[in-house]
Amino acid sequence: MNETILHCDLNGFYASVECLFRPELKNVPMAVSGNPENRHGIILAKNELAKKFGVATGETIWAAKRKCPEITLVRPSRGKYSEYSQKVNAIYSRFTNKIEPFGIDESWLDVAASAKLFGDPVSIADTIRKTVREELGLTVSIGVSFNKIFAKFGSDYKKPDATTLISRENYKEIIYPQPVSALLYVGRRTAEALGKLGIKTVGELARADKKILSARFGKHGELIYNAANGIGDADVAFFGDEPDAKSIGNSVTYRRDLSGMEDFEAAILDLSETVSARMLKEGVKCTTISVSIKNTRLNTITRQSRTDSPTNLSPEIFKTAMRIIKSEWDAGERVRMFGIACGGLIPADSSPDQMSVFDEENCARQKLKKMQEAVENVRAKFGRSSLRRANIAFCDIFSEADLPPSSLAKHNGMTKKRAQQ
């Protein structure tokens, strides 16, 4: 059997974990959400009873309450989710050491070497589902296929607690009638652009002219064409493999939907400072910057651009990331998650920015570098919250778990003394 890639997706993960600690929530429509007092707070996860009312992950709290006025809202307990994510991956590790997490509640597995011990991949998937359900009280949907993209499609195809086989014999029958937006890597804007080309289903994308797609979308056109045709041999990484040799990045899901450039800039500035600090600590610079954007319907796009020159400075990362966003994203569309990944890493001391001391631009960069290093030194000594840009410290897009204590004190109108008690 050639279909040895599994994609495991825990069903309503946040909500399911909360129900483990509060069993009474299993019998009522409930959802994990941001602050209910915030009109633009969003639904992070919901149980099956809430789903029957049409409550959708990623929609605003007020929209969910219009559909289900009696819904019970629970604030997220991120420590619990991390703990159970580790427990689930520990179960996966009984069947294979090739486990590649894709967020906190999803993982790819390669079980090619496990058949002699545990049976065929579908049997392994069924055993994993049974084990997770019996040992942890959670359910997981699993797609089984011959590549990672189709395996992920399979885990989305049937929920909850199901195994779906997407084989070389049936993938056209199952996947090709679906809208292109159901395919990984096809976000809303790409789907709209494809629609203008008369391409609305995955099958139509698979039969499209590859040259036209490449001309219209660049490398991304080739990527989605290959995805639709089941072309792709990306390996599942070994569990614990660190990608930091290739890239340094971070992503954040926000306490409410982001709307407009003011929100976008605050979010991207915070991410830029985070990845910049890591690169400075590692002594590397990047030559490419990728931005990932997830909308409220949980569709994600990723776009990449080369930097003007190797950099590890947050203002330059911010500038490139915002250039990508302004060219690829409609400012009127709300955003649930942003991510930045800095790739093409090289040692900082090998970067060719040692130009003439009379070069004004280089002098400005050296001043910027010294200033940022001074800021990071203060943060290293007194904590990251000791120096925070005002448009980040006073912005309400971050969850209280993400904000540093000093920002929370200002944000909630508390005195610093009270915040430290």
pLDDT recorded at residue 152 = 94
366 Cβ contact list (under 8 Å, min separation 6) = none
Quote the pLDDT of residue 39.
55
Q: Write down which residue in 154, 170, 186 finishes a domain.
A: 170
115 and 150, same domain (yes or no): yes
Mean pLDDT of 401-413: 36
Based on the fold, state whether residues 68 and 51 are members of the same structural domain: yes
Check pLDDT > 70 for residue 200.
Answer: yes
pLDDT for residue 310: 80
pLDDT digits (tens, 9 = 90+) for 225-236: 999 999 876 788
What percentage of the chain carries pLDDT values higher than 70?
79
- Looking at the structure, do residues 30 and 154 belong to the same domain, yes or no? yes
Res. 72: pLDDT tops 60: yes
Indicate the pairing of strand 247-258 with strand 163-166: unpaired
Q: Flag whether 399 is in a domain.
A: no
Is residue 419 one of the residues assigned to a domain?
no
Q: Given a cut of 70, is residue 14 above it in pLDDT?
A: yes
Q: Both 165 and 180 in a single domain?
A: no
Judge if 18 and 163 occupy the same domain.
yes
Mean pLDDT of the chain: 82
**Looking at residue 386, what is its pLDDT?**
47
Instruction: Give the residue numbers spanning the domain of 140.
Output: 1-170
Find out whether 150 and 143 touch, Cβ atoms under 8 Å. Answer: yes
Give the highest mean pLDDT range of 254-268, 367-381, 382-396, 405-419. Answer: 254-268
Contacts of 213 (CB under 8 A, 6+ apart): 221, 222, 224, 225
Q: Is residue 410 a part of any domain in this protein?
A: no
For residue 287, pLDDT over 90 is answered with no
CATH number at residue 48: 3.30.70.270
Element containing residue 63 per DSSP (H, E)? helix 61-67
In a domain, 386, yes or no: no
> Could you tell me the two tokens for 404?
């540093």
Please provide residue 108's backbone torsions phi and psi, each rounded to the nearest 5 degrees: -95, 145
My answer on whether 18 and 147 are in the same domain is: yes
Record the pTM.
Answer: 0.62
The answer to whether 405 touches 420, Cβ cutoff 8 Å, is yes
CB 283 within 8 A of CB 317: no
Same-domain pairing of 81 and 224: no
Residues 288 and 377 in one domain: yes
**Does 207 have pLDDT greater than 70?**
yes
Asked if the model's pLDDT at residue 405 lies above 80, the reply is no
Q: Which of 68-72, 118-122, 157-161, 357-361 has the lowest mean pLDDT?
A: 357-361
Least confidently predicted of 38-42, 83-87, 196-200, 406-410: 406-410
* pLDDT confidence tier of residue 369, bands split at 50, 70 and 90: low
DSSP 182: G
Residue 240's pLDDT is 59
Please indicate whether residue 105 or residue 177 has the higher confidence score (pLDDT). Answer: 177
Which sequence positions are flagged as catalytic? 106
Quote the Cα angle for 420-80-52, to 5°: 120
What pLDDT, on a 0 to 100 scale, did the predictor assign at position 190? 82
Q: How far apart are CA 102 and CA 7, in angstroms?
A: 9
Query: How many domains does the chain divide into?
Result: 3
Strand partners, 340: 250, 291
Asked if 70 and 25 sit in the same domain, the reply is yes
203: domain CATH number is 1.10.150.20
Decide if 395 is inside a domain: no
- Is pLDDT of 417 > 50? no
Bigger pLDDT: 364 vs 338: 338
Q: Is residue 67 part of a domain?
A: yes
Please check whether residues 23 and 66 belong to one and the same domain.
yes
Same domain? For 95 and 214 the reply is: no
* Domain finish residue from 137, 154, 170: 170
Q: Which two tokens mark 358?
A: 């009379």
Indicate whether 356 pLDDT > 50.
no
- Which residues have CB under 8 Å from 235's CB, separation 6+? 98, 110
Within a 10 A sphere around the Cβ of 39, how many other Cβ atoms? 10
Distance CA 170, CA 260 (A): 43
pLDDT confidence tier of residue 394, bands split at 50, 70 and 90: very low
Residue-level pLDDT at 171 = 96
Residue 421: pLDDT band with limits 50, 70, 90? very low
Is 164 a domain residue? yes
Q: What is the average pLDDT across 244-255?
A: 79
Answer positive or negative: Cα dihedral of 234, 239, 241, 247.
positive
Q: What is the mean pLDDT of residues 367-390?
A: 60
- Same domain? For 113 and 42 the reply is yes
413: in domain = no
The CATH number given to whatever domain includes residue 278 is 3.30.1490.100
pLDDT at 378: 59
- Dihedral of CA atoms 10, 12, 17, 23 in degrees, nearest 10, equals -130
